[in-house]
Structure 1
Amino acid sequence: MKKKERHHLLKQLVQQETIQKQEDFVDILLERGIEVTQATISRDIKEMQLIKVPSQSGGYQYSLPPEMNFNISKKLSRLMKDAFVSIDTQKEFVIIKTLPGNAFALGTLIETANYEEIFGCISGDNSVLIICRSEDQADTFQRRMISFV
């Protein structure tokens, strides 16, 4: 598994699970068939700047740094209002056109939001291609994005 993919997975784990030790990361990844050492996880934690915060169950757990715990909906709304040009669908594909230089940020926010209807997302300079799991989900996603404008 590449580092970028591992970091994305670690970020999801931190948001969805209570991770108290580096070994917890190693164990969860191993359960998913991904072999990784504790030393690699330690480096990942430093690179991702994960922090430990008090856990509701007592003790401490890993968390994203404060600047990464942003409200995705607010950021999406602001970016769509500022840079949106057009949106269209064809079957399970949705294409969003933006002002030049804004599509990569939009694609990143869409991927970070982890919408269940999205299979994948490809960003360029002024367009984002979103591949949905079905035509109906593409229509749902298009309506969701239009609501931000």
Structure 2
Amino acid sequence: MRPSNKAARLDAIRQSIREHKVSSQLQLSELLIQQGINVTQATLSRDLDELHATKVRFPDGIMAYWIPDISNQSILEMTTMTMTHAEESAKADQYLAKVLTGLITSVKRANNLLVVRTLSGAAQFAASALDRQPISGIMGTIAGDDTVLIVSPSDDQAADRARWLLDITSGDVAQQERLEA
């Protein structure tokens, strides 16, 4: 039994998406009802947005919801075919490209630090999106109003992450995705 509050509902949504390949809001609603949680479609839609849920194609071809902060291990357990590290990385890149494109205005490097400028008010959202992903070369972020500081373990990794961040936010991932389709 769960308490009837938003935090419990969001946790139930995370758990349902982690344990099942949820392909629609109707399916998710039915899973929540089985747990004693009744929710309107509008609330469910807002909750999925707040959790940054997005639909991705799993290796077995099924399109289902994926929440970025679910551990990679849980995603692997959900699939009958194992995703490779490259596939996991591509999914994270697609998610970040979708979220960060249009928000980042510049990336500058100072040794192992990246100073990322965003639109006014977007820095905390951008930093949170980056922090939710297991990205090698990023130890953590600090966000203000329009600036994100990214700390990398080394100068070389910071240079790689700067190029990568510019690539995914410049539409290269989206262009590549269209070419592969």
Q: Please tell me the residue identity of whatever aligns with 2:149.
A: L
Report SS of the residue matched to 1:122.
strand
Are 1:84 and 1:98, in contact at CA under 8 Å, matched by a contact in 2? yes
Where does residue 134 of structure 1 map in the other structure? 154
Runs of at least 4 residues of structure 1 off by over 6 A? Answer: none
Are 2:109 and 2:162, in contact at CA under 8 Å, matched by a contact in 1? yes
TM-superposed CA distance for 1:124, in Å, is 1.5
TM-score, length-scaled by structure 2: 0.46
Residue 65 of structure 2 corresponds to residue 67 of structure 1? no
TM-superposed CA distance for 1:72, in Å, is 3.8
Q: Which runs of 5+ in 2 are unaligned?
A: 1-6, 22-50, 55-65, 68-90, 171-181
Aligned with 1:145 (options 148, 165, 168)? 165
Where does residue 122 of structure 1 map in the other structure? 142
TM-superposed CA distance for 1:77, in Å, is 1.5
After TM superposition, the structure 1 = structure 2 runs for residues 1-149 of structure 1, keeping only pairs within 5 Å, are 48-49=11-12, 50-51=15-16, 53=19, 67=53, 69-70=66-67, 71-148=91-168, 149=170
Report SS of the residue matched to 1:143.
helix
CA distance in 1, matches of 2:52, 2:158: 32
Q: Which runs of 5+ in 1 are unaligned?
A: 1-43, 56-64
**Length, aligned pairs only:** 99
Report SS of the residue matched to 1:73.
helix
Q: Please tell me the residue identity of whatever aligns with 1:87.
A: V
In proportion to residue count, which structure has more strand?
A: 1
